[in-house]
Amino acid sequence: MYTYNFNAGPSALPPEVLQEAQAEFLNFQGIGASILEISHRSKHYETIHQEAQQRIKQMLALSSEYEVLFLQGGASAQFSMLPINFLTKGKTAGYINSGAWSEKAWKEAQKIGEAVVLASGKDKQFQQLPNLQVQNIPEELVYIHFASNETIGGIQYKTYPKVGDIPLVADMSSDIMSRPFDASQFSLIYAGAQKNLGPAGVTIVIVHRSLLDSIPESTPDMLNYAVQAANQSLFNTPPVFSVYMMNLVLKWIEQHGGLEGMAARNQQKADILYEVIDSSDGFYKGLAHKDSRSIMNITFGTESSEKEKKLLLELEQAGFIGLKGHRAAGHLRASIYNAVPYEHCKALAEFLVDFQRRNA
């Protein structure tokens, strides 16, 4: 049975990328060995590593002031690495709390130093983006952190918070490379690869060089952005296979219209699903507030938990996988990252319409 993959991450990869990786898996470019079997200091791997960095720089039109790093430990490691580098004694960082992931980042930062919440969506059950009031921003913050897309709640920023001269930091794990954006407003961006960029195992960090000078020398090397940057993320063995796969995914994005192409397709995909939810006369209910809806993670429920169970079961039997909501949120969630084809979203939309007809 054909699988329509709506997993939240790790998630669908472009079939062309999987096929390309398969074709050269045993014998990479005629060297007689797999890319998994050769040194990360070899010319072959270095070329891949640099190509991937170059593609990211080009795609986001990054100025030469930015470093692109490939790190390990997932986006979760960035929750700690960020404050370890910058939230030093006597400093305060600001956090926008828009949901489960930004809250985790804030809690982790509190273990390192002084981290304050500047705006919170908790009173709205994280179903709407919180409003950051400029007058609530204290002076002298070392950075302001937010998540551009809350993967669990299914809410997403269309335009980013305006924070003046304070360095702006974004967790873009679940929407990086899904649409064009002006990267120059950020001092640091991080994202785990396993949604829009490839398999799990590599986290990209884009950091403005001006930040690197302030990092204390006592910071452990592996957790020090400046050390990683000085070594082009080859301080130790990088996750070679994840970087290799990410490079293929980045190439696939380029070949499919770049970020403009991704954005147009992603919007179409989201529209067709929200349309079914909104025109269901309350049979389906979108969980996120309309003004905050994500085009990456579509969260919804049905009238009753019995119907939801039945729906999930029937979906799975029909080859739709990964639609169960996050264990903390329940209900359903369709994650429709770059590699999920429009046709799959259309098939899901049609299935939902038919399920309503049979069960209303």
Binding-site entries for pyridoxal 5'-phosphate: 75-76, 101, 151, 171, 194, 236-237
Binding-site positions read 41, 75-76, 101, 151, 171, 194, 236-237
Least Å from the CB of residue 267 to ligand PMP: 20
Q: Between residues 76 and 219, which has the closer beta carbon with respect to ligand PMP?
A: 76
Output the residue with the shortest Cβ distance to ligand PMP: 74
Q: How far is the CB of 195 from ligand PMP (least distance, A)?
A: 7
Q: Is 290 a catalytic residue?
A: no
- Residue position matching structure tokens 């997932």: 74
- Residue of 86, 70, 80, 125 whose CA lies nearest to 104: 80
- Asked whether the beta carbons of 9 and 336 are under 8 A apart, the reply is no
Nearer to ligand PMP (CB atom), residue 72 or residue 219: 72
Q: Is 195 annotated in the active site?
A: yes
Catalytic-role residue among 101, 175, 252, 324: 101
Closest CA to 155 of 276, 329, 298: 298
Among 106, 175, 195, 252, the one annotated catalytic: 195
Instruction: Please tell me the distance from the alpha carbon of residue 69 to that of residue 207, in angstroms, as a whole number.
Output: 8
Using CB under 6 A as the criterion, which residues of the chain lie in contact with ligand PMP when the complex forms? 9, 74-76, 101, 147, 151, 171, 173-174, 192
Shortest Cβ 114–ligand PMP spacing (Å): 22
Q: Is 202 exposed, middle or buried (0-12, 13-18, 19+ CB in 10 A)?
A: buried
DSSP string, 294-327: -SSEEEEEESSHHHHHHHHHHHHHTTEES-BPPT
Measured from the CB of residue 89, what is the shortest distance to ligand PMP in angstroms? 27
149 vs 247 by CB, closer to ligand PMP: 149
| Residues 253, 195 contacting (CB under 8 angstroms) | no
**Distance separating alpha carbons of residues 320 and 18, to the nearest angstrom:** 20
Catalytic annotation, residues:
101, 171, 195
